Structure 1
Amino acid sequence: MVSINKNILRTILIASYIMIVALIISGVSALFSYLNTGADRSTMLHTEIKKVDQYAPKMDWEPLQNEGRPMDDQTLNAIQHDYLDAWYVKQIAYKSNKTAGIKDYYTDSARKNLFDFIDLNKAQDISIEATTLSHNPTLEFFSQDGQLAVITDRNVIEYKRVFKAKELILETKEKSNYQMVCLLEDGFWRIRHLVKDSTEIFKPEPKPIAVDSLNIRGINYYPQANPWNMFGDDFSTDTISKDFKIIKDAGLNSVRLFVQYEDFGKEHIDAKKIEKLKQTLDTAEANDLKVVLTLFDFFGDYSVMNWTLNQRHAEAVVNAAKDHNALLAWDIKNEPNLDFESRGKDNVIAWLDNMIDLVKSTDSIHPVTIGWSNTESATILKDKLDFISFHYYEDLENLDAAVAAIKTEITDKPLVLQEFGLSSYSGIWKPFGSSDEDQANYHKKIQEQIAANNLQFMSWTLYDFTDVPTDVVGSRPWRRNTQKRFGFINSKGEKKEAFKYISNQ
């Protein structure tokens, strides 16, 4: 019995010894692996949002003709990735006046200058919001050991806003040339030297687009069954074709469509959505209709650090549609002035200004406008737009005077009344609303004013809707029910009294 107990005890001791040794070996192995593995850059970025989701300026490398060792695509991609990370981290640091992340993308000699600059700005209560919009790098030299790269980055377009005590003191857009040396350290490319060779104010001057023949008689369009989700699962070219025929037969020549920012994939454009958009343009062409495409619907974040992502989105959409025969014009944004109070008027206008430049640089043929929500904002950026668009849902008695005020400041560009209409809803949520007859009288009157003021027009909208998403007008029933009844055709598919005034032809 004693012998059995000794054997059991001996077995337990041996097993315990083996487990302890195994744990020690495992711990040493894990430590060795950690010490010999490059750190995860996503954990190094001490910022709220990673670069991959926030920064994508246009990169256009010159053909590789560098001295030294031949460059391979994988290494070049790694250099580009870390180079853009370095720009992003520097911009975050200049905005926050914090140095977190800089040591991960700059060597000792390079980071000292950055730290000194940040300390100076912090002492003077200065912060800088900045982004680069495009880079044109040339690889000049790649060392034989693959540890050093010399790059010239020409015509870098930079946008900056400088604040002192939170007040804007400078806004500038520059074109600069940079020389830099990158070193491979710990498996990552860090900037050792970054020197600005030259800089100048950048003022793009796109070629004016002729709009003398512009003659818009149109309507804002969504299918009746799936408004505000036109390119979703219920997308139907048959339905759209039938609707476009109704529009054409009514004497109209154009439709306004909306490209929603998130729905189309933000900076990662959804190829399936683009294909549906192209099919819609094909359908418009088949029905002899032109299309005004409104970009950035349901978008409201104008922060400078997001600009590169926004521009990649717009660039993809514009490139996909710019050669289509049905395309008439680009509308940069629907009613952006409604974001002035919540997002800052200066922020919104700066974003619009730069987005106009981007669209015009991508498509130099089709005119560009902005769908302002009222007549008061219609003159903003008037010199950069090819025609002026505004919406009007106010008292018709004041329309003539409002148009006259616009014409005193804008004398050489077409004016488009891009949205207008009257809801025929009258019910429990709005007992003193308007009737079908009131709606018809409204459209008769406004078409007379459109003709008298030599306006072009796009009314709101073809159909009454059975459902309106809360994202459009909120959840309050008196607003949602009112929004459902702006159409010229009711929920049963019957033409309302107002239909005979859908056009002034």
Structure 2
Amino acid sequence: MVGFSRNILRTALIASYIGIIALIVSGVSALFSYLNTGADRSSMLHTEIKKADQYIPTVQWAPITNEGRPIDEENLNGIENDYLDAWYVMQVAYKTNTTAGIEDYFTDNARENIYKFIALNKEAKINIESTTLAHHPTLEFFSEDGQLAVVTDRGVVEYKSVYKDGISILKTKEVADYKIVLLLEDGFWRIRHFVKEEVEAYHPETIAINTDTINLKGINYYPQETPWDMFGDRFDKDLLLKDFMLIKEAGLNSIRIFIQYNDFGKAEVNPDKLAKLKIALDAAEETRLKVVVTLFDFYGDYSVLDWTLNERHAEKIVSTFKDHKAIIAWDIKNEPNLDFENRGEENVIAWLDNMIDLVKSVDSIHPVTIGWSNIESGTILKDKVDIISFHYYENLEDLDASIAVLKAAIPNKPIVLQEFGISNYSGFWKPFGSSEEDQANYHQKIQEIIAANGLQFMSWTLYDFTEIPKEVVGRLPWRKETQKHFGFINKHGERKASYKYISTQ
């Protein structure tokens, strides 16, 4: 028994010894691995940066004719990535008045000025929300040892919003030139010198778009079974063709459809969604309908740091379909004024202003509009949009007077009543709601107002719906039930009395 116990003890000691040796070897291996991955940013940096998710301005390098050593594509990409990362970290620092990540992208000398600027802003209770939208760098010099690069970045388009005590005191968009010296340290490029040389106010190119031939007589469209999910798993081209033919036969000439920002992949637009959008546009062309495409549906952030992501999203969609024969106009955003209270009116308007510039820079042919939720907002950015669009769900007795006010303020642009309608829901949640006859009378009356004032129109909507996503009107049952019954065709596929007034025919 004693010998047996000694064998057990001996075995345990040997096992423990082997375990200790294994731990030591493992530790040494991990240390060796760490020491040999100095260029692996994800293990080195205090703040890992992922530009694809956060910051992707346009970058257009001048032809490479630098002095010094010729540069290969890998090194040039490394300079570009680290340079843009530095911009992003600096923007975050100025917004939050913190210094996290600065030391990873700026040398001791360069970061000293940044730290001083942050300290002054923090003391004065000033925060700066900023971004850059376009860069045009030129590589001036690349050292023989590959450790130093000199870059001139001309025509950097910058937007800044300055806040004091949380209140906006300045918004500016400018174009500037920068001289930058970068050093290769620890496997990536840090900014050594960062000098702003010239700056001027940003003035976008004025693009006059002809709207004389546009005469919208249309309707807002979602498939009956998939409202607010038109491009989802149940997407059906044959169904679209059937619906579009019905719309055309009703005497209408156009539809308004919606592109949801998240659903289409945000900055990295989903190719499958683009393919479905093309099918929908092809179906519209086949049935001789024109399409107003509303961008950024269900987007509501407007953060300045999001602007480059928003631009890449719109740029991809607009550039892909700007030559499609079905496109008649781009609607930047559906009812953005509903976000004024929560996101700040100035912030939302600045975002819209910038997005108009972006869309027009990509497509100089098709007009741009904004789908305001009420007629009073129709004058906002009136000099930037080509078509004035507003929605109206209020008392029809006040509409003529409101149109007169809008026409007086904007006498020379087409005006589109882009959404209007009335629900015929009358039930448990709304016992004194409107009837189908009330709905028909409403559409008869509003078509008379439209004709008398020479407006263009797009009604809401072709179908009644059986399901309404909570994101549309919230969870309250009386709101959801009301929203289900705006259509000219009921859930059984039967035309309601209002169908007679779906058009001006």
Secondary structure at the aligned position of 2:160 is classed as strand
Counterpart of 1:410 in structure 2 is: 410
Change (3 A) 1:5 1:62: same
**Are the aligned partners of 1:206 and 1:361 in contact in 2 as well (CA < 8 Å)?**
no
Alignment pair present for 1:364 and 2:364: yes
Aligned pairs for 1:327-342 within 5 A = 327-342=327-342
Change (3 A) 1:5 1:180: same
Counterpart of 1:79 in structure 2 is: 79
Change (3 A) 1:127 1:140: same
Change (3 A) 1:20 1:328: same
Alignment pair present for 1:94 and 2:97: no
Q: What displacement does 1:247 show? A: 1.0
Separation in structure 2 between the aligned mates of residue 483 and residue 434 of structure 1, nearest angstrom: 13
**Are the aligned partners of 2:139 and 2:149 in contact in 1 as well (CA < 8 Å)?**
yes
Separation in structure 1 between the aligned mates of residue 43 and residue 448 of structure 2, nearest angstrom: 63
Counterpart of 2:389 in structure 1 is: 389
Secondary structure at the aligned position of 1:324 is classed as coil
Separation in structure 2 between the aligned mates of residue 220 and residue 46 of structure 1, nearest angstrom: 49
Between stretches 247-256 and 116-125, larger displacement belongs to: 116-125
Counterpart of 2:56 in structure 1 is: 56
Separation in structure 1 between the aligned mates of residue 28 and residue 389 of structure 2, nearest angstrom: 69
Q: Aligned partner of 1:226: which letter?
A: T
Q: What displacement does 1:393 show? A: 0.4
Residues 47-77 of structure 1: CA deviation (Å, up to 9, x unaligned): 6985442111111122322223222222222
**Are the aligned partners of 2:39 and 2:187 in contact in 1 as well (CA < 8 Å)?**
no
Q: What displacement does 1:405 show? A: 1.4
Change (3 A) 1:47 1:404: farther
Separation in structure 2 between the aligned mates of residue 95 and residue 276 of structure 1, nearest angstrom: 39
Counterpart of 2:459 in structure 1 is: 459
Q: What displacement does 1:5 show? A: 6.6
Between stretches 120-129 and 103-112, larger displacement belongs to: 120-129
Separation in structure 1 between the aligned mates of residue 426 and residue 39 of structure 2, nearest angstrom: 64
**Are the aligned partners of 1:375 and 1:406 in contact in 2 as well (CA < 8 Å)?**
yes
Change (3 A) 1:6 1:287: closer
Residues 342-397 of structure 1: CA deviation (Å, up to 9, x unaligned): 11111111110100110011111100000000011111000101010000000100
Change (3 A) 1:5 1:428: closer
Q: Aligned partner of 2:166: which letter?
A: K
Secondary structure at the aligned position of 2:378 is classed as coil
Alignment pair present for 1:237 and 2:242: no
**Are the aligned partners of 2:160 and 2:172 in contact in 1 as well (CA < 8 Å)?**
yes
Counterpart of 2:139 in structure 1 is: 139
**Are the aligned partners of 2:39 and 2:188 in contact in 1 as well (CA < 8 Å)?**
no
Separation in structure 2 between the aligned mates of residue 300 and residue 43 of structure 1, nearest angstrom: 34
Secondary structure at the aligned position of 1:218 is classed as strand
Separation in structure 1 between the aligned mates of residue 12 and residue 414 of structure 2, nearest angstrom: 93
Q: Aligned partner of 2:397: which letter?
A: E
Residues 418-440 of structure 1: CA deviation (Å, up to 9, x unaligned): 00001111111111111111111
Counterpart of 1:299 in structure 2 is: 299
Residues 212-232 of structure 1: CA deviation (Å, up to 9, x unaligned): 222111100111111111111
Q: What displacement does 1:147 show? A: 1.6
Q: Aligned partner of 1:397: which letter?
A: E
Alignment pair present for 1:432 and 2:432: yes
Change (3 A) 1:394 1:2: closer
Change (3 A) 1:44 1:126: farther
Kindly report the root-mean-square deviation, in angstroms, between the aligned alpha carbons of the 2 structures: 1.9
Between stretches 320-329 and 33-42, larger displacement belongs to: 33-42
Change (3 A) 1:326 1:97: same
Change (3 A) 1:3 1:438: closer
Separation in structure 1 between the aligned mates of residue 405 and residue 380 of structure 2, nearest angstrom: 14
TM-score (norm. length: structure 1):
0.96
Counterpart of 1:346 in structure 2 is: 346
Separation in structure 1 between the aligned mates of residue 17 and residue 402 of structure 2, nearest angstrom: 91
Separation in structure 2 between the aligned mates of residue 276 and residue 6 of structure 1, nearest angstrom: 75
Q: What displacement does 1:171 show? A: 0.9
Separation in structure 1 between the aligned mates of residue 90 and residue 173 of structure 2, nearest angstrom: 18
Q: Aligned partner of 1:383: which letter?
A: D
Secondary structure at the aligned position of 1:378 is classed as helix
Between stretches 289-298 and 163-172, larger displacement belongs to: 163-172
Separation in structure 2 between the aligned mates of residue 278 and residue 64 of structure 1, nearest angstrom: 38
Between stretches 29-38 and 48-57, larger displacement belongs to: 48-57
Change (3 A) 1:331 1:12: closer
Q: What displacement does 1:42 show? A: 4.7
Separation in structure 2 between the aligned mates of residue 444 and residue 15 of structure 1, nearest angstrom: 91
**Are the aligned partners of 1:488 and 1:502 in contact in 2 as well (CA < 8 Å)?**
yes
Q: Aligned partner of 1:131: which letter?
A: T
Counterpart of 1:268 in structure 2 is: 268
Secondary structure at the aligned position of 2:464 is classed as coil
Change (3 A) 1:421 1:45: farther
Change (3 A) 1:184 1:16: same
Change (3 A) 1:127 1:40: farther
Q: Identity percentage over the alignment?
A: 68
Separation in structure 2 between the aligned mates of residue 340 and residue 326 of structure 1, nearest angstrom: 32
Separation in structure 1 between the aligned mates of residue 354 and residue 324 of structure 2, nearest angstrom: 24
Separation in structure 2 between the aligned mates of residue 44 and residue 405 of structure 1, nearest angstrom: 61
Q: What displacement does 1:179 show? A: 1.2
Change (3 A) 1:196 1:30: same
Counterpart of 1:24 in structure 2 is: 24
Pairs aligned (count): 505
Secondary structure at the aligned position of 1:211 is classed as coil
Q: Aligned partner of 1:385: which letter?
A: V
Counterpart of 1:484 in structure 2 is: 484
Q: What displacement does 1:6 show? A: 6.2
Aligned pairs for 1:57-206 within 5 A = 57-206=57-206
Counterpart of 1:207 in structure 2 is: 207
Counterpart of 2:38 in structure 1 is: 38
Between stretches 35-44 and 277-286, larger displacement belongs to: 35-44
Q: What displacement does 1:164 show? A: 2.0
**Are the aligned partners of 2:46 and 2:104 in contact in 1 as well (CA < 8 Å)?**
no
Q: What displacement does 1:176 show? A: 0.7
Counterpart of 2:318 in structure 1 is: 318
Secondary structure at the aligned position of 2:207 is classed as coil
**Are the aligned partners of 1:163 and 1:169 in contact in 2 as well (CA < 8 Å)?**
yes
Secondary structure at the aligned position of 1:376 is classed as helix
Separation in structure 1 between the aligned mates of residue 394 and residue 3 of structure 2, nearest angstrom: 102
Separation in structure 2 between the aligned mates of residue 54 and residue 301 of structure 1, nearest angstrom: 13
Q: What displacement does 1:205 show? A: 3.1
Between stretches 242-251 and 139-148, larger displacement belongs to: 139-148
Change (3 A) 1:287 1:14: closer
**Are the aligned partners of 2:292 and 2:328 in contact in 1 as well (CA < 8 Å)?**
yes
Secondary structure at the aligned position of 1:472 is classed as helix
Separation in structure 2 between the aligned mates of residue 453 and residue 47 of structure 1, nearest angstrom: 58
Q: Aligned partner of 1:112: which letter?
A: E
Secondary structure at the aligned position of 1:377 is classed as helix
Change (3 A) 1:7 1:332: closer
Residues 206-257 of structure 1: CA deviation (Å, up to 9, x unaligned): 2111112221111001111111111111111111111111111111111001
Q: What displacement does 1:25 show? A: 3.1
Secondary structure at the aligned position of 2:379 is classed as coil
Change (3 A) 1:296 1:43: farther
Change (3 A) 1:215 1:45: farther
Separation in structure 1 between the aligned mates of residue 174 and residue 96 of structure 2, nearest angstrom: 22
Between stretches 486-495 and 36-45, larger displacement belongs to: 36-45
Separation in structure 1 between the aligned mates of residue 326 and residue 10 of structure 2, nearest angstrom: 88
Separation in structure 2 between the aligned mates of residue 48 and residue 306 of structure 1, nearest angstrom: 18
